Amino acid sequence: MATLTVEISEKLQLNGKDRGSEMTVTIDSITETFHRIMDVATASAQTILQMDSTAANAAGGTLHTTQVQYFRITNLDATNFVSITIQNDSTEEYMVKLAAGESYFLFNSKIDANALGDASAAAGNLTDIDNVLAQADTGSCQVEVFAALT
């Protein structure tokens, strides 16, 4: 077993004052990693990561959701952006834009998305992430996917 250390550092001098911060998160008992660099095309969204809540289905490139402690997606392109879509099997999804060189990360595998944008809808109905998709904007890009599991 190993310990994953994630360090987040922001360095900013604004009006002569240090406004940056640092945060370190350690995750013990890491026993597995998933790491892949892959091409993402512009034609349509393609699956870059799959997860499943049933341990027996977590084989090959499919990760067991309850074991995912951290995952990161980085757009390795120098120019183009990539759209990342996070989905569950309950037809909920959300999308984020990763500009050139940007990363998106989570410390768990849960989402709740409200398709209607209704503030009165019940909050906190977290469900497992099932698919992560990516689509490049105007030119093919490479993305890096990294996950750590217990």
pLDDT of residue 59: 83
pTM: 0.91
pLDDT of residue 60: 82
How many Cβ atoms are within 10 Å of 102's Cβ, its own excluded?
Answer: 15
Classify strands 32-40 and 21-30 as parallel, antiparallel or unpaired.
Answer: unpaired
DSSP string, 15-28: TTEE--EEEEEEEE
Q: Output the CATH code of domain 32-149.
A: 2.60.120.10
pLDDT of residue 61: 83
Residues of the chain with confidence (pLDDT) below 50: none
How many Cβ atoms are within 10 Å of 64's Cβ, its own excluded?
Answer: 20
- Facing residues of 21 across strands? 10
Domain boundaries, the chain: 32-149
Q: Which two tokens stand for residue 63?
A: 């990760």
Q: Which two tokens stand for residue 21?
A: 């911060």
